[in-house]
Chain A
Amino acid sequence: MKARHKRLAFIAVGLIALGVATALVLDAFRSNLVFFYTPTQVANGEAPQGGRFRIGGLVEPGSLKRAANSLEVRFVVTDTAKRVEVVYSGVLPDLFKEGGGTVVQGRLAADGSFHADQVLAKHDENYMPPEAAEALKQARRVQTTVEVE
């Protein structure tokens, strides 16, 4: 009898631990999902105010402006229909360029500009995945697309 009780206690503890762990994992999972929006969706007000999300599109040529004394940059991301102004402070990735595809992650500010804490760039001379669509798809790394295994 005693051994059986012990066994039951073990199983109960195990199940509780498993339950708590699952709950914690799912909670962390939920709070770390980053959704994806196109500039058109952002312009239509579909993107969450205050929440973190990603925008993918092309960097509008001629829109890149640098601050004089800091690393702050401003540029416009467009899906050729609508535009979103992006503010970012930091080093831009190697393959970031005007007219190229990009994905930015961050939050909308009150003035309607997008404050990015991550900028991803990807470049494709060849028709592998399309820059922005690919970016929409993936955007997992703060760097460039690599043909690697």
Chain B
Amino acid sequence: MIPELGHLALILAWLLAAAQAGFAFAGAARNDGILMATGVSAARGQFVFCGIAFVSLGYAFYANDFSVLYVASHSNSTLPLYYRLAAIWGGHEGSMLLWTTTLALWTVAVTLFSQHLPEVFRARLLGTMGLISLGFLTFILFASNPFQRMIPAVLQGRDLNPLLQDPGMVLHPPVLYMGYVGFSVVFGFAIAALLGGELNPQWARWTRPWTTAAWVFLTAGITFGSQWAYYELGWGGWWFWDAVENASFMPWLVGTALIHALAVTEKRDAFKLWTVLLAILTFSLALLGTFLVRSGVLTSVHAFATDPQRGLFILVLLGGVVGGALTLFALRAPQMGLGGRFGMVSRESMLLAGNVVLLAATGTVMLGTLYPLFLEALELGKISVGPPYFDTVFVPVMLPAMLLMGLAIFAPWKHAVLTVLLGRLKWVMGVSVAMALLLPLMLGKWTPLIALGLLMALWIAASAFVSVYERLKKREGGIIKTVVGLPRAYQGMIVAHLGVAVFIMGVTLVKGYEVEQDMRMSPGDTAQVDGYGFRFDGIREAFGPNYMAIIGHFTVTWNGRPVTILAPEKRHYLASDTPMTEAAISSGFFRDLYIALGEPMDGQAWSVRLYVKPFVQWIWAGCLMMAAGGVLALLDPRYRRRNSAAMEGTA
């Protein structure tokens, strides 16, 4: 019964999405307050029914209802409850349901926090989101219904892919989707502004918190995904330039550019068209990500819906949404006006240059991701573009952006004098260059790349600190008090930039100093890796809830003193008959020790991977700092204060 209830709820949600779009746009066209209010109610109702559908699917997983095809394909009664619930988004149909439910959630958030927006603008925004929702609900109902029954039912499900049975997988997809889908709100703001002509600093102020919120989720989602890969894939990598990872990274890059462009549009009324184009582009890339993953056009590690039919549907959806938006842009852009002017050297020009660099970086990622696809479409052969391409290209392309990060926070709006700017920053430059040259020597290995990476990290961090110091000098009171008293948006920017510095530091030191060794070890053997002694004590067998495991026992020593004991596992998941490597990791502030069991060799020997990864945790710490910076910026009372001022203005 419950699955049918879920299916019915989906149909009702579909009708309400249609009503939301229809009433909102009709109301906006006639300036009819009642119609527009009906659109708002429909949006809220749609959320309720999407929620019911989602909970129904969750219940089917909870109750092990294997008469539902999707449940039977992705769950198993021996699976622990939290993984059964995470299995809701373990496959294509459920992921799509999560996508739509997330969209409905964002829509409701818009209805709740948009009282300050002009009624017609808000109606167009909700109408746009309703159309997107309608598209996705149509897709779910006609091409990927998660509630489809399977008669006769099976007694046992096929189990969730063991790689997904990891705490990281419980969190990663919903957070990532919150990010992806959150940009639909930004997209709605862009469309509403193009329709109504409200492309001005006030529009940018309305849009900024939503952009930042979506960006925070996307940042966190990508971070969780990267950590999951590190823990679960068993060979210590944290980023693979895999097509699906790139699909989430491209909207992140453009979204980052958008955040900075919006700042300029709000403060200076400049490059508005660029900003609105970025808003469209960010959501388009989020949709493209969905398209690439869901259609199986790029069959990567992640793609699980290899179904051209579905691909065609998503392509039509993508073409409609993005093509429509870009057509609207081409029609309306010439009437929008150019906005505030600025000097060749100014904060505006630096932010613009940073934007261009971020887009260029997006372009290089896109080239590597889509080129193999194009080549195949033209029947010119099958190729792959390896991670070395991204590694060699991405860093040099991003260099100017990193340099600008230090400069731009000191540059005044409108017009800056380069010599004055460099004069203020000479100490920052001197100290970071000197430390970048010396630090690698102290760490025992000097290469140009390590020095360069450290230089960038130190440069960004030092300039952020100097900026804070200069601001504090102008204020009175104790350090803590004044730091807390700085504007939240400024604090957020500083924390996020420091996060970038920490991230670069982590990447540089891991790439420069990690030691990876694949070894053959018998019980009693000791291997020396980067000063650590790894002693293989032997293996034992154990049972998990739905798997059997062989657990290795390793004692790690430093100068003869024990550091830690690590127990990497080789699991065999019973329902799906799949082997899985579960690495054992001892994480620390300065280094991670990483052991993964390979396979049994002759006798009692095993092949093992022994890695020492210095500062690897800094990578994710840096990413989380960026997200935290976004949260701080969201807390800025400015948005609320101006919002209420705007309300008084309209009243």
Task: Say if the beta carbon of B233 comes within 8 Å of chain A.
Answer: yes
B531 to chain A, nearest CB (A): 23
Instruction: Please state if A91 and B579 are interface contacts (CB–CB under 8 Å).
Output: no
Instruction: Please state if B164 and A147 are interface contacts (CB–CB under 8 Å).
Output: yes
1/0 per residue B324-363: CB within 8 Å of A? 0000000000000000000010000000000000001000
Beta-carbon contacts under 8 Å, A116-149 to B:
123, 125-126, 128-129, 134, 136-149
Residue of A nearest to B367 (CB): A29
Q: How many angstroms between the C-alpha atoms of A7 and B579 in the bound complex?
A: 62
B594 to chain A, nearest CB (A): 13
Q: A94 contacts which of B173, B234, B381 (Cβ < 8 Å)?
A: B234
Beta-carbon contacts under 8 Å, B222-261 to A:
233-235, 237, 240-244
* Known pairs A29-B367, A95-B578; A66 contacts B601 (CB<8 A): yes
Residues of B in contact with A, size category: 35 or more
Residues of A within 8 A of B459 (CB): none
A100 to chain B, nearest CB (A): 11
Instruction: Please state if A138 and B360 are interface contacts (CB–CB under 8 Å).
Output: no
Task: Say if the beta carbon of A81 comes within 8 Å of chain B.
Answer: no
Task: Say if the beta carbon of A21 comes within 8 Å of chain B.
Answer: yes
Instruction: Please state if A36 and B579 are interface contacts (CB–CB under 8 Å).
Output: no
Q: A92 contacts which of B241, B367, B599 (Cβ < 8 Å)?
A: B599
Instruction: Please state if B301 and A144 are interface contacts (CB–CB under 8 Å).
Output: yes
Task: Say if the beta carbon of B89 comes within 8 Å of chain A.
Answer: yes
* Known pairs A90-B518, A94-B580; A28 contacts B161 (CB<8 A): no
Q: How many angstroms between the C-alpha atoms of A21 and B399 in the bound complex?
A: 11
Q: How many angstroms between the C-alpha atoms of A7 and B371 in the bound complex?
A: 35
A55 to chain B, nearest CB (A): 12
Q: Give how many A residues have a beta carbon under 8 Å from the other chain's beta carbons.
A: 45
Instruction: Please state if A140 and B382 are interface contacts (CB–CB under 8 Å).
Output: no
Q: How many angstroms between the C-alpha atoms of A91 and B518 in the bound complex?
A: 7
Residues of B within 8 A of A21 (CB): 360, 396-397
* Known pairs A137-B382, A142-B235; A125 contacts B577 (CB<8 A): yes
Q: How many angstroms between the C-alpha atoms of A140 and B302 in the bound complex?
A: 11
Residues of B within 8 A of A148 (CB): 161, 163-164, 169, 244, 301-302, 304
Instruction: Please state if B299 and A129 are interface contacts (CB–CB under 8 Å).
Output: yes
Q: B344 contacts which of A7, A28, A32, A143 (Cβ < 8 Å)?
A: A7
Summarize A's interface: helix, strand, loop or mixed. Answer: loop
Q: B384 contacts which of A68, A90, A125, A138 (Cβ < 8 Å)?
A: A138
Instruction: Please state if B300 and A141 are interface contacts (CB–CB under 8 Å).
Output: yes
* Known pairs A148-B163, A149-B176; A143 contacts B301 (CB<8 A): yes
Residues of B within 8 A of A10 (CB): 344
B401 to chain A, nearest CB (A): 12
Task: Say if the beta carbon of B520 comes within 8 Å of chain A.
Answer: yes
Task: Say if the beta carbon of A83 comes within 8 Å of chain B.
Answer: no
Q: B386 contacts which of A34, A138, A149 (Cβ < 8 Å)?
A: A34
Instruction: Please state if B300 and A25 are interface contacts (CB–CB under 8 Å).
Output: no
Q: B299 contacts which of A90, A125, A134, A142 (Cβ < 8 Å)?
A: A134
Q: B300 contacts which of A68, A92, A140 (Cβ < 8 Å)?
A: A140
Task: Say if the beta carbon of B385 comes within 8 Å of chain A.
Answer: yes
* Known pairs A35-B383, A36-B381, A66-B602; A123 contacts B161 (CB<8 A): no
* Known pairs A71-B607, A94-B234, A140-B300; A28 contacts B392 (CB<8 A): yes
Residues of B within 8 A of A134 (CB): 299
Q: B302 contacts which of A36, A54, A129, A149 (Cβ < 8 Å)?
A: A149
Task: Say if the beta carbon of B393 comes within 8 Å of chain A.
Answer: yes
- 24 pairs of residues in contact across A and B, judged by CB atoms under 8 Å: A6-B344, A7-B344, A21-B396, A29-B368, A32-B386, A33-B384, A34-B384, A35-B382, A71-B519, A71-B598, A71-B607, A91-B235, A91-B596, A128-B304, A129-B296, A129-B299, A140-B241, A140-B243, A140-B301, A146-B161, A147-B91, A148-B244, A148-B301, A148-B302
